[in-house]
Amino acid sequence: MTLSQSSNSSGGSFDLTPATFTVNVSAPAPANTAPSVSVGGVTGGARYAKGSVPAATCLVTDAEDGNSNFRATLSTVTGTYASDGIGSQTASCSYTDAGGLTASSSVTYSILDLTTPVVTYSLNPAGPDGANEWYKSDVSLTWTVSDPDSPNSLKTTGCANQDITKDQVSTDYTCTATSAGGTTDPVTATIKRDGTAPNAPTGSLDPRPNSAGWNSTDVTVSFADNGDNGPSGIASCTSPVTVSAEGANQTVTGTCTDMAGNVSSGATVTVNLDKTAPTNLQFQSTPITDGASYYYGSVPAVPSGCTASDEVSGVATCVVTGGDNPGSVGDHTLTATATNWAGLQSTEQVHYTVMAWTL
- State the Cα–Cα distance between residues 130 and 128, nearest whole angstrom: 5
**333 within a domain of the structure (yes/no):** yes
Examine residue 2 and state whether it is found in any structural domain, yes or no: no
* Residue 214 vs residues 106, 117, 322, 338: alpha-carbon distances, Å: 105, 73, 29, 16
Report yes or no on 102 lying in a domain. Answer: yes
Same structural domain, 69 and 122: no
At residue 359, the pLDDT reads 73
One-letter identity of residue 178: T
Q: Is residue 248 part of a domain?
A: yes
Give the β-pairing of 306-309 and 292-295. unpaired
Indicate if 166 and 206 belong to the same structural domain.
Answer: no
Paired strand residues for 288: none
pLDDT confidence of residue 205: 97
> Is there a single domain that holds both residue 151 and residue 100?
no
Do 86 and 57 belong together in one domain? yes
- Measured CA to CA, the distance from residue 156 to residue 154 in angstroms comes to 7
**Domain end residue (candidates: 137, 161, 193):** 193
Q: Is residue 53 part of a domain?
A: yes
Please tell me the predicted confidence (pLDDT) of residue 329.
Answer: 95
pTM: 0.67
Note whether 189 and 209 are same-domain residues.
Answer: no
The 3-class SS string of the chain reads CCCCCCCCCCCCCCCCCCCCCCCCCCCCCCCCCCCEEEEECCCCCCEEECCCCCCCEEEEECCCCCCEEEECEECCCECCCHHHCCEEEEEEEEEECCCCCEEEEEEEEEEECCCCCEEEEEEECCCCCCCCCCECCCEEEEEEEECCCCHHHCEEECCCCEEECCCEEEEEEEEEEEECCEECCCEEEEEEECCCCCCCCEEEEECCCCCCCCECCCEEEEEECCCCCCCCCEEEECCCEEECCCEEEEEEEECEEECCCCECCCEEEEEEECCCCCEEEEECCCCCCCCEEEECCCCCCCCCCEEEECCCCCEEEEEEECCCCCCCCEEEEEEEEEEECCCCEEEEEEEEEEECCCC
Residue where a domain stops, chosen among 193, 215, 246: 193
Alpha-carbon distance 118 to 134, whole Å?
A: 27
Residues 98 and 128 reside in one and the same domain: no
In which residue ranges of the chain is pLDDT below 70? Answer: 1-5, 11-19, 21, 23, 25-30
| Predicted pLDDT at 240 | 97
Distances 150 to 45, 87, 100, 183 between C-alpha atoms, Å: 21, 11, 44, 12
Same domain, 98 and 125: no
Verify that 254 and 219 share a domain, yes or no.
Answer: yes
Instruction: Quote the pLDDT of residue 9.
Output: 72
Q: Are residues 128 and 154 in the same domain?
A: yes
Whether residue 25 is contained in a domain is answered as: no
pLDDT for the residue numbered 17:
65
**Inter-residue contact 71 to 55 (CB < 8 Å):** yes
Look at residues 229, 250, 273 and tell me which one is the last residue of a structural domain: 273
pLDDT attached to residue 1: 57
What is the number of domains present in the chain? 4
Q: What is the pLDDT of residue 357?
A: 84
Cβ proximity of 265 and 200 under 8 Å = yes
CATH number at residue 239: 2.60.40
> What range defines the domain where residue 246 resides?
202-273
Q: Which pLDDT does position 112 carry in this prediction? A: 96
